[in-house]
């Protein structure tokens, strides 16, 4: 089974869907076979990929899930039946690949309006996990846009996920959403699901905003919350606030089609490379190309430099400063959970 990365935030406006769509495109650019699972109303991740959606009629994920209404509580769907349920709905949808993707692709299980109701009718919270298991060998990595609200659909998402990335706008209200998300992960582990926190990604970050500096300091000094050492879980790069992400969503296309400044998406390049290495695909992460081919002088928003007059540093300087600590952080995270990719 390909490792499943959930992008989760229990508060709206944190950049969940933007993170999913950018990661999907970038990982495919590196040659990875990516599956996007959109569980977040109203399907923003699906919409943000509409420039590469094929024409045609497709079934719905809710229909595939409802075919297991009679499954015993706590049971996982048989792999053959799960595969047949997906095929009956013509899922997943293979999106239009780009020539630069070198064999990579993006496929999707899009959001549909009946997903929440369908999950409420299921006797087992392992239905989604069983459907994803049925795609073993067909994809390299799964990106799941988590529902923001609780309920059976979120429970299914937690049971199917290996690792969670939490996007966070550095504002005080977002901290409450972060704490709620961490409680959800703790409850998932208590229920027997091997789910870990991959990291916290600062998004829509304005380094001129003193509040952003205070939030980073708060997270670094907070110690453990729900068993997670938050100071160690912050990604060292951040996504800077700019209008091009909103434009990209509006037109359903990648941000590099709206801006020629690689500094605007460089943080997502670094996140994609972290994810590929974490998923055991380091051989893909080593080959930057196209929009991911960042120049040495590309500016990176370094959260360690937020208190300095110039918080953006050259990529070459950023990588030299953080290469060792980044590797140590990954090993610490794996050692704490004792898990790699689920099989």
Per-residue pLDDT of 207-242, as tens digits, reads 888 888 888 888 888 877 787 887 789 999 999 988
- Would 62 be classed as within a structural domain? yes
Task: Let me know: does 158 contact 20? Beta carbons within 8 Å.
Answer: no
User: Residue 294's domain is classified under what CATH number?
Assistant: 3.40.50.300
Task: For residues 28 and 272, give the distance between their C-alpha atoms in angstroms, rounded to a whole number.
Answer: 10
The overall longest dimension of the chain from CA atoms, in Å, is: 61
- Would 202 be classed as within a structural domain? yes
Residue at token pair 């309006």: 113
Task: Let me know: does 149 contact 122? Beta carbons within 8 Å.
Answer: no
- Low-confidence residues of the chain, pLDDT below 50? 324-343
Each residue of 64-77: pLDDT tens digit? 999 999 999 989 99
Closest to 145 (Cα-Cα) out of 235, 15, 33, 321 = 15
- Would 122 be classed as within a structural domain? yes
- Would 319 be classed as within a structural domain? yes
- Count of structural domains within the chain: 1
- Would 320 be classed as within a structural domain? yes
- Would 343 be classed as within a structural domain? no
- Would 39 be classed as within a structural domain? yes
Q: Which domain holds residue 114?
A: 4-337
Record the pTM.
0.92
- Would 342 be classed as within a structural domain? no
């Amino acid at each position: 089974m390909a490792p499943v990365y959930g992008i989760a935030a229990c508060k709206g406006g944190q950049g969940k869907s933007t993170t999913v769509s950018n990661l999907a495109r970038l990982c495919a650019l590196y040659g990875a076979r990516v599956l996007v699972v959109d569980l977040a109303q109203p399907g923003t991740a699906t919409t943000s990929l509409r420039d590469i959606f094929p024409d045609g009629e497709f079934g719905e994920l809710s229909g595939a899930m409802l075919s297991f209404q009679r499954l015993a509580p706590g049971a996982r769907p048989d792999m053959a039946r799960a595969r047949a349920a997906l095929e009956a709905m013509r899922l997943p949808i293979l999106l239009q690949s780009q020539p630069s993707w070198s064999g990579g692709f993006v496929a999707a299980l899009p959001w549909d309006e009946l997903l929440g109701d369908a999950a409420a009718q299921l006797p087992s919270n392992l239905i989604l996990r069983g459907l994803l298991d049925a795609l073993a060998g067909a994809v390299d990595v799964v990106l799941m846009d988590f529902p923001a609200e609780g309920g059976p659909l979120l429970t299914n998402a937690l049971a199917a996920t290996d690792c969670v990335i939490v996007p966070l706008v550095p504002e005080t209200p977002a901290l409450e959403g972060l704490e709620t998300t961490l409680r959800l992960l703790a409850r998932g582990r208590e229920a027997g699901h091997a789910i870990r926190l991959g990291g916290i990604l600062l998004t829509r970050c304005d380094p001129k905003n003193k509040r952003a500096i205070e939030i980073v300091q708060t997270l670094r000094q907070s110690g453990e919350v729900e068993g997670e050492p938050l100071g160690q879980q912050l990604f060292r790069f951040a996504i800077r606030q700019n209008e091009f992400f909103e434009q990209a969503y509006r037109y359903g296309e990648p941000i590099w089609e709206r801006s020629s400044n690689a500094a605007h998406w460089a943080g997502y390049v670094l996140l994609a490379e972290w994810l590929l290495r974490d998923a055991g695909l380091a051989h893909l992460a080593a080959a930057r190309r196209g929009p991911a081919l960042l120049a040495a002088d590309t500016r990176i928003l370094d959260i360690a430099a937020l208190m300095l007059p110039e918080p953006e540093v050259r990529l070459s300087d950023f990588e030299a400063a953080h290469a060792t600590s980044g590797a140590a952080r990954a090993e610490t995270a794996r050692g704490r959970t004792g898990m790699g990719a689920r099989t």
